[in-house]
Structure 1
Amino acid sequence: MSTEIERKFLVADLPDLSSAKRAVVRQGYLTAPDDSTELRLRQKNDTFYLTLKGAGALVRVEREAEISAEQFETFWPETEGRRVEKERFTGELPDGRVFELDVFSGDLAPLRLVEVEFTSEAEAQAYTPPAWFGPDVTADKRYKNKMMAINGVPD
């Protein structure tokens, strides 16, 4: 079983992204808004995924499988009204950790979020983010992609 340990932050100031990898992402949710488990379709550039994410904030189960474009398109219509579009920039922080910075488009623009994954809960809790990170929203369910796909940008 894969477990994801990550913290999520708003972005105070955009960093230099010239060395980051950029991907165009569209994702939609197959599960109902009140389901604790998320079942998500994601297109990242020309690759397609089906992902299951369990309940939780800092730590949760995550399983992902690559699927074909045809499989993606078969289920994509079922995500209507529960979609997110964004650009994802993946880069390295000065401490060697990897960040994933999402710049949302469409109804969620101009929202920007950044995530950092960790190998343990203790490491995650002890983490001091760089100055360009804004407030920590890890435990704020309104900033989960699924909730924003349904409810829009949090107030």
Structure 2
Amino acid sequence: MTEKQEVERKFLVQQLPDLEQATKVRIRQGYITQTDDSVELRLRQKGDNYFLTLKSGDGLVRSENEISISAQQFDQLWPNTLGQRIEKVRWKGQISEQLQFELDVFEGSLAPLQLVEVEFSSVAQAEGFQVPDWFGDDVTLIKGYKNKALATQGIPSLL
């Protein structure tokens, strides 16, 4: 099991960037935990790879434990996520030499939502991040934009 601390900021997308140099993968994920649980237990299919992930914490820094599972294990657990699923296309590209973006274009009931995430090596780096022009509002601290909330409650409105 891989355990790490994740320092990440999440933004709405103001306009799509040039994605010619980016890579893309189709993702479907579902949540086994209940909406009000303080931890997230997530199943994810990312292309031909399958994962079971446990996330905890709130805000800028969260704990993440992830293991690879087989397609058979994924298929066995997938029915437990009914009503708590999302599908999206993820574009991954470079912002700078040190930073990458992950741009999620949601499908189904969450379309046309687009979110972009950037992972940092430290809180100081995250706080000093110069936001590109194509990024929209910072929604890092808005719980309704966490994938689990999107899977169970749909797209929130910005306050």
**Alpha-carbon displacement from aligned partner over 1:125-154 (angstroms, at most 9, x marks no partner):** 111110000000000000000001001111
Identity of aligned residues (%): 55
Partner of 1:18: 20
Partner of 1:92: 94
121-130 or 82-91: bigger deviation:
121-130
Matches within 5 A, 1:65-84: 65-84=67-86
**3-state SS in 2 of match to 1:50:** strand
Decide which of 52, 58, 61 is 1:59's aligned counterpart. Answer: 61
Partner of 2:136: 134
Measured after TM superposition, the shift of residue 71 of structure 1 is 0.3
4+ residue runs over 4 A deviation = none
Letter in 1 for 2:20: S
Asked if 1:112 is matched to 2:129, the reply is no
Letter in 2 for 1:129: V
Distance of 1:51 and 1:102 partners within structure 2 = 18
**Alpha-carbon displacement from aligned partner over 1:66-118 (angstroms, at most 9, x marks no partner):** 10000000100000000000000000013541100000000000000000001
Q: Which blocks of at least 5 consecutive residues in structure 1 are unaligned?
A: none
Distance of 1:113 and 1:104 partners within structure 2 = 8
Partner of 1:144: 146
Decide which of 84, 108, 127 is 1:125's aligned counterpart. Answer: 127
**3-state SS in 2 of match to 1:18:** coil
When the two structures are superposed, what TM-score results if normalisation uses the length of structure 1? Answer: 0.98
Provide the aligned length of Structure 1 versus Structure 2: 155
Measured after TM superposition, the shift of residue 56 of structure 1 is 1.0
Distance of 1:96 and 1:19 partners within structure 2 = 16
Letter in 2 for 1:146: K
Query: Would the alpha carbon gap of residues 71 and 52 (structure 1) be closer, same or farther in structure 2, given more than 3 Å must change?
Result: same
When the two structures are superposed, what TM-score results if normalisation uses the length of structure 2? Answer: 0.95
Letter in 1 for 2:45: Q
